Amino acid sequence: MWCTTSPESRPLLSSGSSFTSPPVPVDRNLREKEAVSQSFTTVSILGAGPAGLYAAILLRKGFPDASVVVHERNPQRATFGFGVVFSDRALDFMQSDVPELLDLIRPDMQQWSDMQLSLPTRDVKLDGVGFSAVGRMQLLSRLEQYAVSLGVKIKYESEISDIGELRTDLIIGADGIQSRVRDSDIETFQPALSYFNNHFAWFGVALPFETLTQTFIETNLGPMNAHHYRYSSSMSTFIVECEPRTWKAYGFDGMDERQSADTCGALFANTLKNTPLITNHSHWRRFPRLWCKRWVSGNRVLLGDAAHSAHFSIGSGTRLAMEDAIALVRAIREEKDLPSGLAAYERNRQPIAEKITNAANRSAEWYDAFAEKMKMPPLDFAKDYLMRSGRIDLPQLRKMAPQFMAEYDHRAR
Ligand SMILES: Cc1cc2nc3c(=O)[nH]c(=O)nc-3n(C[C@H](O)[C@H](O)[C@H](O)COP(=O)(O)OP(=O)(O)OC[C@H]3O[C@@H](n4cnc5c(N)ncnc54)[C@H](O)[C@@H]3O)c2cc1C
């Protein structure tokens, strides 16, 4: 199962790769470490999402002798959703491990330093709330190209239904919220899964919004909200959400994707400037609240959404998934053997991820109550919004959003 690595023995750029960037040198520190540490020979990764692809990249960089195969149930270039947004540090965490990959992704990214709340009575600008965004497809394509260039084998349309059939030394469950790896040992992983109340649907639109905006509207059948931001020079994400009774009242439960898109398009016609919404697996869903007590079972380990969920309103699920991959590979590198590495990953990573998922859960709870909160005066609503995840107190908010707070304080006087 274990073998000593010899980093020089394997070319980093596979001959069949279509990736055109120069070969990536192995990190010098890694080489030194590998001279004294051990590696594994075979790894199966379920899922070519951000967690799976990033783990594959880091494993091939850290353990060039390991054979890493990613199984993805979907065809190549088929994924759900549109753009994803990242709060504050965006993808800067990639800087230390794969700066060249970050350089490839950066040009695809959109960035802005303020956001906007669009309320029925007025708009409120929230300064200092910086975000960046990228198309999920663009991100996955870059990760995929880079992974292949390092010798990762990605098998598309390869759905693994029986984990027991995999005979590799390490099995990584990066297979998202419906994880089969997690299901393969519920007693050990102990997932706690429930769902938030609101219904949401993830659309796109060929309209580049100026900044990340939360639009809250009153409609005849109840309040509705849209999270929207551009993720390329021509495209934006447009996520619509509402509480269950509004969702029922519109009959969204009986509509197909196109009908839902047209209905939401009509309701948000002003915001959308009558541009039609685009669908891509844009079914109505309720966001899951998932936390697994354990992330390791024997040689099986969970990453990203397979282990925990983070509501999209704090823009952290993708980053969390990729940072899990960093934590996993680091732990395997630093410990004396694979079991100790997996144990260290769970021990060290869980408290960090838990803090973020707790903040995301509080944010999701805020959205579940947004219809009621819309009765607040706009500036109170905005302040409540900014403090919803419990991560910042008032002095921090004053530092972060001085212009908004000046307006808030002026109004309060
Ligand atoms: C509406 C919405 C908006 C979001 N917005 C943001 C955002 O703005 N910012 C952000 O950071 N995050 C956002 N997220 C969250 C983000 O999408 C996830 O947290 C992130 O994709 C998790 O990555 P992952 O690799 O763990 O899982 P996934 O991206 O779900 O990837 C899992 C992969 O595994 C594959 N798979 C599943 N089962 C199998 C199997 N048995 N065999 C083979 N393959 C399998 C799936 O096809 C999939 O490709 C959003 C999520 C939603 C629903």
Q: Whose CA is nearest to atom 4 of ligand 1?
A: 312
Q: Whose CA is nearest to atom 30 of ligand 1?
A: 176
Mean of the pLDDT values across residues 205-226?
Answer: 96
Residue 124 has pLDDT above 70, yes or no: yes
Q: What percent of the chain stands above pLDDT 70?
A: 90
Mean of the pLDDT values across residues 375-403?
Answer: 93
**96 or 263, greater pLDDT:** 263
Q: What percent of the chain stands above pLDDT 90?
A: 77
pLDDT tens per residue across span 154-173: 999 999 999 999 999 999 99
51 lines ligand 1 (CB under 6 A): yes
Give me the pLDDT at residue 1, please.
Answer: 27
Of 14, 78, 69, the C-alpha closest to 46 is 69
**Spacing, Cα 305 to ligand 1 middle (Å):** 6
Residue 23 has pLDDT above 60, yes or no: no
301's CB contacts (< 8 A; 6+ apart) are 170, 171, 172, 173, 295, 328, 342, 345, 346
- pLDDT band at residue 97 using 50, 70 and 90 as cut-offs: confident
Q: What is the spatial distance between Cα 165 and Cα 318, in angstroms, rounded to a whole number? A: 29
**95 or 194, greater pLDDT:** 194
**Which atom of ligand 1 approaches the CA of 133 most closely?**
8
Residue 18 has pLDDT above 50, yes or no: no
279 lines ligand 1 (CB under 6 A): no
Q: Which residue type, as a one-letter code, is found at position 413?
A: R
Partners of 308 in the β-ladder:
291
**Spacing, Cα 365 to ligand 1 middle (Å):** 21
71 lines ligand 1 (CB under 6 A): yes
Least confident of 37-46, 178-187, 281-290, 343-352: 37-46
315 lines ligand 1 (CB under 6 A): yes
pLDDT tens per residue across span 274-319: 999 999 999 999 999 999 999 999 999 999 999 999 999 988 899 9
Strands (E), 165-212: 170-173, 191-205
Give me the pLDDT at residue 280, please.
Answer: 93
- pLDDT band at residue 88 using 50, 70 and 90 as cut-offs: low
Partners of 135 in the β-ladder:
83
Residue 252 has pLDDT above 80, yes or no: yes
**36 or 398, greater pLDDT:** 398
83 lines ligand 1 (CB under 6 A): no
Residue 89 has pLDDT above 60, yes or no: yes
Residue 33 has pLDDT above 60, yes or no: no
DSSP string, 56-108: HHHHHHH-TTSEEEEE-SSPTT--S-SEEEEETTTTGGGGTT-HHHHHHHGGG
Pocket test for ligand 1, best of 175, 225, 282, 324 (most atoms within 8 A of CB): 175
Asked if residues 179 and 302 have their Cβ atoms less than 8 Å apart, the reply is yes
SS3 of 200, please? strand
Asked if residues 285 and 201 have their Cβ atoms less than 8 Å apart, the reply is yes
CATH number of 2-78+136-194+288-365: 3.50.50.60
182 lines ligand 1 (CB under 6 A): no
Q: Which helix (H) or strand (E) covers residue 376, if one does?
A: none
Calculate the alpha carbon distances from 47 to 42, 73, 111, 202, 330 in Å: 16, 7, 28, 21, 20
237 lines ligand 1 (CB under 6 A): no
Domain boundaries, the chain: 2-78+136-194+288-365
Calculate the alpha carbon distances from 55 to 141, 218, 303, 310, 354 in Å: 15, 44, 9, 19, 20
Mean of the pLDDT values across residues 199-217?
Answer: 96
- pLDDT band at residue 342 using 50, 70 and 90 as cut-offs: very high
